[in-house]
Chains A and B, each alone.
Chain A
Amino acid sequence: MTYIAKPKLHHPSLAKNRVGFTRRDYEGKISTLCAGCGHDSISAAIIQACWELDIEPHRVAKLSGIGCSSKTPDYFLGNSHGFNTVHGRMPSVLTGAYLANRELIYLGVSGDGDSASIGLGQFAHVMRRGVNMTYLVENNGVYGLTKGQFSATADKGSRSKKGQSNNDAPIDLVTLALVMGATFVARGFSGDKAQLVPLLRSALAHQGAAVIDILSPCITFNNHSGSTKSYDYVREHNEAVNRLDFITLREEITADYAAGEVIDVRQHDGSIVRLRKLHADYDPTDRIRAMSYIQEHAARGEVVTGLLYVDPEAADLHRQLGTVEQPLNTLGAAELCPGSKALEKINAALR
């Protein structure tokens, strides 16, 4: 945590992306989280991913619930509209915003308390509906803002800073998202930016419900031995299934890989997610296999990371509803009001 304001002047030599913005243009206010918080690394990865994707900052809408993670949207994309909603209910607000304007990019930021406890219902239902969004769970297994209570993702048997043991079975949001029909499901680690940034880029470009469960250690309340969400524990037990490159329509595919080492997943809009396999038998387009793979490894105490599932044929809510291409919030009386003549007909039918 720092009190020194960042200078607003940008060095002229800072590289600009295709839409004319430097990385600094994607920054927000100074974080008020603890120094070393995993969440700040995630904010940095979001900044990097948006800059690399040439997204105009104001085309992103950031929505969050309540908690440490939900404060972070103030710390990136300062020119974007953000909405700190109520605890556990960001998904419904995001859904409504997305209904109103299908053209913006929706980024939902939540935590394990926000999504796995009070918001478990909304988490599940937003996945079912195929809302076109990127939903991030900044998962540290602990309630930070209220000082160290276990959250519902804490592993059974893990210990709190005060030494208490957690007796409740953990909720695995990745598995839940798969069951509920999310069409892009990944897990990352805030301490592995090289893995996280391409995951974010792919998720942001995905046209459907994308969720990334990001293990993000709480430096203050959950980084001790006995915790299964500490930096050390996650590093030791991290089993990445793949490394990915996200290739947009504009980019040429240049890198060469030996046959069998990569999988290209071409998505609806033509963009390609290229996965370098780390586990030869892992196929991220097989949802059923993904679920059992995650469970098998979890039983061995391993944390599977990477792109776990992607449905290249994902359909979003607007397509299912059959709404017009033009955002609903731009329609005026001419498009919406049937007028007095139609009303006279309705009156006549009611006599």
Chain B
Amino acid sequence: MQKIEAVNDFVVKFANINGSGSASANELFARAILRMGVPVSPRNIFPSNIQGLPTWFEVRVTEHGYLGRRGGVDLMVAMNPQSWEQDVREIDPGGYLFYDSSKPVPRARLRNDIHVLGMPLTEICNDTYSDSRERQLFKNIIYVGALTTLLDIDPQEIEKLFGEQYKGKEKLFDSNLQALNLGREYARQHLKPIALKVERRDRVGDMIFTDGNSAAALGCIYGGATVCAWYPITPSSSVPEAFERYAQKLRTDAASGEKRYSIVQAEDELASIGMVIGAGWNGARAFTATSGPGISLMAEFIGLAYFAEIPAVLINVQRGGPSTGMPTRTQQADVLACAYASHGDTRHVLLFPEDPHECFEMSAQALDLAERLQTPVFVMTDLDIGMNQRLCRPFAWDDNREYDRGKVMTREALDAGTDFGRYLDVDGDGIPYRTYPGTHPTKGGYFTRGTTKNAYAVYSEAGADYIYNMQRLRQKFETAKSLVPLPVLTAARYPARFAAIFYGSTGPAMQEALAALAEQGIYLNALRIRAFPFQNEIADFIAAHSKVFVFEQNFDGQLTTLLINEAHANPASLVPVLHYDGTPITARFITQEIAERVARLNVRPLRENMVA
């Protein structure tokens, strides 16, 4: 029988039961490999349940540092009888199945083309522990122990991780170590060796391992947000929760215990965006985190903030849509909903981070942009980035960086007799000056409303005033182009006719696919879009290629539509390639789609004089 052999390049998938404590054991497994200097890319695949139902954790071990989902499974750790059939089916031929053999499994439920490793985990636990919770929790550590032996993972690394986790809790440290060794010893004595191995490397460097939601929260801390208003919704809830965790540490006065931040869990998304807008109006940096259904609820308020010109930051951790959607699946399906959120002629600034590093950077930047442009700014992350730990560049902050508070007219300026028109374009960039409430006893006060106003914020239904305002807003959106992050080009080694456009969490899979395609002799220029409005570079890039594949994780080709509408791209040159089943896009998918399409486009016509 064939045997999959690999060093530092394979996929292990854990099939577990929700609420069984497997998550921390699986993370331990992933971290131990990282500590050996070998990059890993783990992903949670979980249904919308809290306890008792199937949940999966996939770890891609990848010496090359390919952090996208690969597809396929080399070693399945099948710990859940409910999902057994599906789990066994998923293993690549020649792969390995590790399972709890306390209860015999009939041959018919196994496969002939895989290698089976049974370990009586329940039996071992029942013999060793009397407490039922201990039996449950240590079972996870015991299988991690067995896996370290099978895969040659250095147990010293796990011991060190235990040491960090259970600092000052000797008893817990000892019992975990004991369970680990129990697993190691069993595997050494009873299990046949396998051909998947981890070998120590130095490929991780100074990279960090974190999730996008925590990173976005930290970005809001560094970016100076003082008001966070939110409503729980998967997959975004861990953003405000992480903000609270970080703020408790970093924004609480050591002596007095006073907090330099405020967090309100609102009654719904309408209230959370209302609070963000109220705080922004009053001169504080404020943000909310939500997902697609929340954006729909916030739509009316987003329009008000757009026209009243109030800074607001929305972190949208996108999930499967539409409607209530698939809350535990990932998509990039809110692009259009956010770009044009609300009624009336609205247009919003979007940022597309590709990993936790950019979640940090762009959340901080969004707070600057929102105040500079006096408008809502969306950080368009997704479940794949937000709720999975990802290896990425370390966070960085320049201590000389100052917050850009935008155009705020001060009491001194008002006293000096500066003309103040809240919606007056004095600099030609479409951005007016604002005053914070309470600035001056007799000057600079104004009444904030939507569109029925003139440049001095006086009530007006006059057509000319409306037109002035709309044209100024358009000018402001033009100005935004010069402020938002530029796209990133990955140029092909040889001149290329074809190109790819992608954004957000597609990044890692795309980089891997480009390398694989180059090996097949297919060369593409690839542009990662990082923001909307689109800079002219994007239109130029599209115009320079005969076909541009636009990779999106949604059904409608939403970015493609936006490129046609807003960058005036020729629709005939854009080819949307869509991955929308709710799982993260894979390099295998991208490689195959491009290879097939390129082959078709390169077919020579039957008659010589016809153009392909």
Contacts and interface: CB of A to CB of B under 8 A. Distances in A.
B250 A81 contact: no
A94 B274 CA distance: 8
A156 interface: no
Contacts of A95: 229, 264, 271, 274-275, 278
Contact of B266 (A81, A125, A350): A125
B497 interface: no
A86 B227 CA distance: 20
Contacts of A61: 282, 437-438
Contact of B274 (A81, A85, A318, A350): A85
Interface stretch (B59-67, B389-397, B549-557, B559-567): B389-397
Contacts of B438: 58-59, 61, 81, 101, 103-104
B300 to A, nearest CB: 5
B304 interface: yes
Interface in B26-50: 34
B437 A97 contact: yes
A157 interface: no
B28 to A, nearest CB: 15
B71 interface: no
Given A125-B266, A323-B262, A337-B397, A329 B226 contact: yes
A27 interface: no
A100 B278 contact: yes
A99 B396 CA distance: 29
A244 B403 CA distance: 49
B403 A332 contact: yes
Given A328-B260, A337-B222, A89 B301 contact: yes
Interface in B234-291: 250-251, 253, 257-264, 266-268, 270-284, 286
A248 interface: no
A136 B395 CA distance: 47
Contact of A322 (B258, B308, B395, B402): B258
B299 to A, nearest CB: 11
B439 interface: yes
B226 A58 contact: no
B259 A322 contact: yes
Nearest to B204: A351
Given A56-B441, A92-B274, A121-B267, A100 B208 contact: no
A343 B434 CA distance: 33
Interface string A319-351: 001111100110111011111101100110011
B229 A96 contact: yes
B258 A122 contact: no
B127 to A, nearest CB: 37
A176 B402 CA distance: 46
A81 B277 contact: no
Nearest to A58: B441
A324 B253 contact: yes
Contacts of A322: 257-259
A347 B284 contact: no
A73 interface: yes
B448 interface: yes
B190 to A, nearest CB: 35
B340 interface: no
A333 B260 contact: no
Contacts of B308: 83
A347 B395 contact: yes
Contacts of A342: 250
Nearest to B276: A96
- How many A residues are at the interface, by size bracket? 35 or more
Contacts of B435: 81
B519 interface: no
A142 B442 CA distance: 36
B167 to A, nearest CB: 12
A91 B440 CA distance: 25
Contacts of B273: 92
- How many B residues are at the interface, by size bracket? 35 or more
A91 B270 CA distance: 11
Contacts of A57: 441, 445
Nearest to A80: B445
Given A81-B445, A84-B449, A321 B397 contact: no
Contacts of B226: 99-100, 328-329, 331, 336
A103 to B, nearest CB: 7
The winner among A78, A82, A93, A333 for most chain B CB atoms within 10 A is A93
A93 B277 contact: yes
A125 B231 CA distance: 13
Contacts of A58: 437-442, 445
B260 A324 contact: yes
Contact of A340 (B34, B207, B396): B396
A203 to B, nearest CB: 20
B447 A122 contact: no
A85 B260 contact: no
A218 to B, nearest CB: 22
B282 A321 contact: no
A223 interface: no
Contacts of B262: 99, 318, 321, 323, 328
A324 B222 contact: no
A99 B227 contact: yes
Nearest to B453: A84
A129 interface: yes
Interface in B208-238: 208-210, 218, 221-222, 224, 226-227, 229
Interface of A: 29, 56-59, 61, 63, 73-74, 78-86, 89, 91-101, 103-104, 121-122, 125, 129, 317-318, 321-325, 328-329, 331-333, 335-340, 342-343, 346-347, 350-351
9 contacts: A81-B436, A84-B447, A96-B277, A100-B226, A125-B266, A324-B260, A338-B221, A347-B208, A347-B395
Interface of B: 34, 204, 206-210, 218, 221-222, 224, 226-227, 229, 250-251, 253, 257-264, 266-268, 270-284, 286, 300-301, 304, 308, 394-399, 401-403, 435-443, 445-450, 459
Given A96-B278, A100-B286, A324-B258, 8 more contacts: A92-B274, A95-B274, A97-B282, A101-B437, A103-B438, A328-B261, A328-B279, A346-B218
